[in-house]
Chain A
């Protein structure tokens, strides 16, 4: 059976648009709320990234840090995250879910045990921010055995030789970091420049899907729509924070935002 992540890309391609990937932090602002957000956005998002909150996130900007600290404060544990995914899959079993986090969480859980749990709860892909290539080779192989995509990250600083090597080992989806920044930074390069870099990478192996993330908002998303997929994370986390601050319902607000994002790329 084809991984639902690949199915999502095929579907988006048929509709002549990039896949929309959303990122929310598991347990933000609570376990229940987090599940409800997933349910409410699944209609408009093609792939759901769920962040595994960590308290020393070296690559995340303010918005995602705030969400992560909020989730941890509200008591989220790794097992709760699997439960959220499992419950979500009962609601929408074909919607692909990717967990994104830092390696220590997997390391403490145990790589094999973690992957078994991923499989059981219905996780389709993994992004491990601080487990770069080639350090990730072994773990990526383990993922493959479980039919879980291990998603490689590519950056503007990744050299050409390295890009080729990574893409050769890459599973069907990779993630291109748009610019030198932590998550949620303001776009400091033009969308045109980002697409130019993206095309260079894409040429290495056109069959492999590459999504673009970091700094994408309602304002910039339309200009990047020639990519295979686009990830919006910090903008959503920010919306959750904003909703909580104004005592509004984050579920409806985030749902509206994702709908708008989708509208911009169709």
Chain B
């Protein structure tokens, strides 16, 4: 299995949509074959269409507010005493997270295909919030599927979705989290694919959704590349890009433009959710060596039992609480381009405490996982090492959990 240079990773799949010959694909009911094929044709055409790119860039700039900041975390760097720690503050984006890129592109595609309704899944609520925002902006009716457990723990985002006029459909099946929300959203699309468009909230699902999402979030690394050159004159000799990985949309977007660099110069570190320290459950299929299986239309490493039933996950972070992982990351793991590890709930909370103590930045629980590993590894790195952590979400949505776990002062002081 080999990563090709000079070809975008999203376009490195084979005819049937498999990366490395075995990850991804289209394991979908017959009913979805046609709508997926239609979407593929449309996307392949539009991603080469200059006018469409201009339109996308216009909305990215004027509405999402790109570029997001690239800042040095001076105090944290001093405290840790190793590598220089920087952050790409993607949570600056309109709505407070990277999910807005994919949501915007899906709404633009839906408009082009004449669909009136757009449905989407959400875990942490960001994908849903952004989709509801974009749908409102582009005049589409919006339906969001969300696990009942997530609805309870991510209330601020649920309120935002409703305020944007979206219908939030609670999903009570299975573990009542993201995995069930995606299943229910796919079911809705099976029954309504003639009138509705579907937005999969991450780089997961049938191949075309993986590609669209990766294409959309790649905005992050396009900006970062420019910002790095502005700051250092060239791409640093020792660059390490840390990102949390749930479905894998922000990390893929954070790394994409640096794919062709040697990994000795530019290393990618994906941090999965290890779950509570005392629990055997986790959401880290790459770190803990889960087997390949099929989930939501794609072959991927996925937590499952020997029979092939998908296993329940556990994580403090709703956005990372997913048993599978993008086929793109499976491909990056097996080609050894990226390195994957996990942080526990407790490690993420400690990292949140540390970051907010030293910096005017409040990463949500998802990027706090990435900070946990970045901080602990930075101690060992030389001073000319540039560590960049993607702070891809804002902690506003987590205030309930943070208050409960860390006490009121961690919510109020921010």
Binding site for B on A (CB under 8 A): 54-61, 65, 69, 72, 77-78, 102-109, 129-135, 152-159, 162, 177, 180-182, 185
Contact among A56, A59, A69, A158 for B33, CB-based, below 8 A: A158
Among all A-B residue pairs, the 5 with the closest Cβ atoms: A108-B308, A157-B34, A104-B294, A155-B31, A153-B30
B14 to chain A, nearest CB (A): 12
Interface pairs (29), CB distance under 8 Å = A54-B308, A55-B309, A55-B310, A56-B296, A57-B183, A58-B183, A58-B186, A58-B187, A59-B29, A59-B190, A60-B187, A65-B173, A69-B173, A103-B27, A104-B293, A104-B294, A104-B308, A105-B307, A132-B30, A133-B30, A135-B16, A135-B25, A153-B30, A157-B31, A162-B33, A162-B34, A177-B31, A180-B190, A182-B187
Contact among B33, B174, B306 for A132, CB-based, below 8 A: B33
CA distance A104 to B304 in the complex (A): 10
CA distance A85 to B304 in the complex (A): 25
Q: Decide if B225 is an interface residue (CB 8 Å cutoff).
A: no
Which of A77, A133, A157 counts the most chain B CB atoms within 10 A?
A157
Q: Decide if B191 is an interface residue (CB 8 Å cutoff).
A: yes
State whether A104 and B295 are in contact (beta carbons under 8 Å apart), knowing that A109-B308, A157-B35 are contacts in the complex: yes
Contact among B180, B187, B291, B295 for A59, CB-based, below 8 A: B187
CA distance A129 to B187 in the complex (A): 13
CA distance A150 to B20 in the complex (A): 28
CA distance A159 to B309 in the complex (A): 32
Cross-chain contact A107 with B33 (CB below 8 angstroms) = no
Cross-chain contact A154 with B173 (CB below 8 angstroms) = no
Query: Inter-chain contact count A-B, CB under 8 Å?
Result: 113
Size bracket of the B interface = 35 or more
CA distance A55 to B305 in the complex (A): 11
Cross-chain contact B307 with A78 (CB below 8 angstroms) = yes
CA distance A78 to B307 in the complex (A): 7
Q: Decide if B401 is an interface residue (CB 8 Å cutoff).
A: no
Residues of B within 8 A of A129 (CB): 29
Cross-chain contact B190 with A182 (CB below 8 angstroms) = yes
Closest to A66 in B: B173
Closest to A57 in B: B183
Closest to B299 in A: A107
Interface residues of B in 107-159 (CB under 8 A from A): none
Cross-chain contact A130 with B192 (CB below 8 angstroms) = no
Closest to B31 in A: A155
Cross-chain contact B193 with A58 (CB below 8 angstroms) = no
Closest to A106 in B: B308
CA distance A55 to B297 in the complex (A): 14
CA distance A181 to B194 in the complex (A): 11
Q: Decide if B39 is an interface residue (CB 8 Å cutoff).
A: no
Residues of A within 8 A of B187 (CB): 58-61, 182
State whether A157 and B179 are in contact (beta carbons under 8 Å apart), knowing that A78-B307, A108-B307 are contacts in the complex: no
Cross-chain contact B30 with A177 (CB below 8 angstroms) = yes
Residues of B within 8 A of A131 (CB): 27
Residues of A within 8 A of B32 (CB): 157
Cross-chain contact A54 with B31 (CB below 8 angstroms) = no
B196 to chain A, nearest CB (A): 10
Q: Decide if B80 is an interface residue (CB 8 Å cutoff).
A: no
Cross-chain contact A159 with B29 (CB below 8 angstroms) = no
Cross-chain contact B310 with A56 (CB below 8 angstroms) = yes
Cross-chain contact B29 with A108 (CB below 8 angstroms) = no
